[in-house]
Amino acid sequence: MTATSDTTSTSATFTGTATIRNPATGGVAGEVRWTDPADVTRIAAGLRSAQREWEARGAKGRAKVLARYAVWLGEHRDDIERLLIAETGKSASDAAQEVPLIIMITSYYVRTMAKALAPEPRRAALPFLSIKKITVHYRPRAVVGIIAPWNYPVANALMDAIGALAAGCAVLLKPSERTPLTAELLLRGWLDSGGPDVLALAQGAREVSEAVIDNSDYIQFTGSSATGAKVMERAARRLTPVSLELGGKDPMIVLEDADIELAAHAAVWGAMFNAGQTCVSVERVYVLEQVYDQFVAAVVRDVQNLKMGAGEGHAFGAMIDDSQVEVTARHVEDALAKGARVLTGGKRGSGPGSFYEPTVLVDVDHSMACMTEETFGPTLPIMKVSSVQEAVRLANDSPYGLSAAVFSRDVERAQDIALQLDCGGVNVNDVISNLMCTTAPMGGWKSSGIGARFGGPEGLRKYCRIETVVSPRTSVGAGGNYYHNSPRALKRMNTLMTKLALIRPRRMAK
């Protein structure tokens, strides 16, 4: 759920306290006290100390605390969503998506974490090595630093934090300087749920982010590709491992046999949800020429029915600030200058606040920024293509590779096309649904990231160091290849090892 702007602000001063304002109304959402970057070392040291006891509780002990936290999130969902709306200018329907997703993720890990983190026995590769017991252990890293963006202040913080906490790590969370208030409420909930001091906040911008990187044992960063490169460079100074979920320009392909009404509804929701400020939003659509006119007409009809505004009764709310509005406006103006047409929308909102009208663009191509750069706004550019091969080629013609969608009544055909797309996840006859698949990891290819986020046992094990313990089952054969053996005995041993190891390859080579 990448945000294009993140922890890079240099013009603002992040000392003392600051007022956070609602981008939809300009009203005051609350006050935040910024963290002195020099204090991050002390905060991390406290987490590192508390983490030892947290790890010692074991998976079952930690699961009980996480379960209580999930209950707290459910019971305080209204409070969290009111703050989300006040801090981000979201619509009520957009704000309502975040807490349920985190409860789903937490519930999944509460049920599965003991098995996922259990010591894993491995069989010996050769019979004569069966005298050894081989066990792989998953040992948590002490402090996981999470640098989260502003577009989903609950989801982007906790979908990573929950996995790290479940693995037995302590978490140092650096929320976006644009949305710091929700993180403070989430921390209060952790403590109110009986959670130990293994979750802490560092509030601020670039300098605080750098301090978090310098004092963590693992970094999970969500944000732009440009900033992700800077995070990786900083982490490399201490060889700190990173997981990066970065930008996207997610394509959608509509085949000639698609359910056009379904595809149009999906495209509009996938493009406009959260004002388009979603990493896996639909940012470009390739439609087979046989159904292009029908699809475009259905999309325009749906978009014209959308109501823009914060809070209740609106499809989507404000953008995070005017700088994000300006990016969207620039992409639309560039497209128009190069021959595209706007069928609806195409300008910022007429009232106060950081709004941009839902916009449908046609006659677009890859010379335009709206088709090649991450817009992160409520636009839907649609391009006519003559063949599936052209659609796949254009979909892959991008530095990004986060996710995609394919629409066809022939699901097997759509699945075959999905495997031709260069990205981390593909939805067939749906959009964004891969975010709900808690049993599978979510990750991007190319400039869209390194590693994967939550989902499956991988979402826990990524925060662990692997330790392999090899112990004897019997004393028979111990020291068989040590120096004290005769050269003849060692030669026999090596000859036997080679013969045994070649049995299966020789069979398979025939």
235-271, pLDDT tens digit by residue?
A: 999 999 999 999 999 999 999 999 999 999 999 999 9
Burial of 428 (0-12, 13-18, 19+ CB in 10 A): middle
**Is the CB of residue 470 less than 8 Å from the CB of residue 132?**
yes
φ, ψ of residue 106 to 5 degrees: the values are -65, -45
CA 251/CA 423 separation, integer angstroms: 10
The answer for residues whose C-beta is within 8 angstroms of residue 305's C-beta and 6 or more apart is none
Task: Provide CATH code, domain 250-436.
Answer: 3.40.309.10
Count, residues in the chain = 510
What confidence category does residue 1 fall into, taking pLDDT thresholds of 50, 70 and 90?
A: low
Question: Could you tell me which of 80, 107, 204 has the C-alpha nearest to residue 148?
Answer: 204
| Two structure tokens written together for 87 | 């801090």
Q: List beta partners, residue 200.
A: 172
Question: Could you tell me which of 28, 96, 121 has the C-alpha nearest to residue 469?
Answer: 121
Q: Where are the alpha helices (DSSP H) in 276-384?
A: 292-304, 322-337, 369-372
27-71, pLDDT tens digit by residue?
A: 999 999 999 999 999 999 999 999 999 999 999 999 999 999 999
Per-residue pLDDT, 13: 65
Q: Is 279 a catalytic residue?
A: yes
Per-residue pLDDT, 3: 55
Mean pLDDT over 315-344 rounds to: 97
The answer for residues whose C-beta is within 8 angstroms of residue 299's C-beta and 6 or more apart is 264, 267, 268, 360, 380, 382
H or E element that contains 267? helix 260-272
Q: Is 374 a catalytic residue?
A: no
Per-residue pLDDT, 481: 64
H or E element that contains 110? helix 98-117
What long-range pairs does 8-11 form, CB within 8 A, spacing at least 24? 8/205, 8/206, 8/227, 8/230, 9/177, 9/205, 9/206, 10/205, 10/206
Phi-psi map region of 22: left, alpha, beta (phi>0 left; psi -120 to 50 alpha) = beta
Domain 17-246+456-465: top CATH class? alpha beta
**Is the CB of residue 328 less than 8 Å from the CB of residue 375?**
yes
CA 360/CA 386 separation, integer angstroms: 21
Active-site position among 169, 279, 370, 464: 279
H or E element that contains 497? helix 487-509
pTM of this structure: 0.94
CA 363/CA 380 separation, integer angstroms: 12
Mean pLDDT over 475-497 rounds to: 75
Q: List beta partners, residue 349.
A: none
12-31, pLDDT tens digit by residue?
A: 568 899 999 999 999 999 99
What confidence category does residue 475 fall into, taking pLDDT thresholds of 50, 70 and 90?
A: confident
Phi-psi map region of 449: left, alpha, beta (phi>0 left; psi -120 to 50 alpha) = left
Active-site position among 55, 177, 245, 357: 245
| Two structure tokens written together for 93 | 């329907």
Proportion of the chain above pLDDT 70, given as a percent: 96
What confidence category does residue 5 fall into, taking pLDDT thresholds of 50, 70 and 90?
A: very low
Mean pLDDT over 414-442 rounds to: 96
Q: Amino acid identity of 179?
A: T
φ, ψ of residue 425 to 5 degrees: the values are -160, 145
The answer for residues whose C-beta is within 8 angstroms of residue 304's C-beta and 6 or more apart is 344
Question: Could you tell me which of 288, 355, 290 has the C-alpha nearest to residue 325?
Answer: 355
Per-residue pLDDT, 130: 83
DSSP 359-382: EEEES--TTSHHHHS---SSEEEE
Domain layout of the chain by residue ranges: 17-246+456-465, 250-436, 479-509
The CB-side HSE value for 251 (13 A sphere, CA atoms) comes to 28
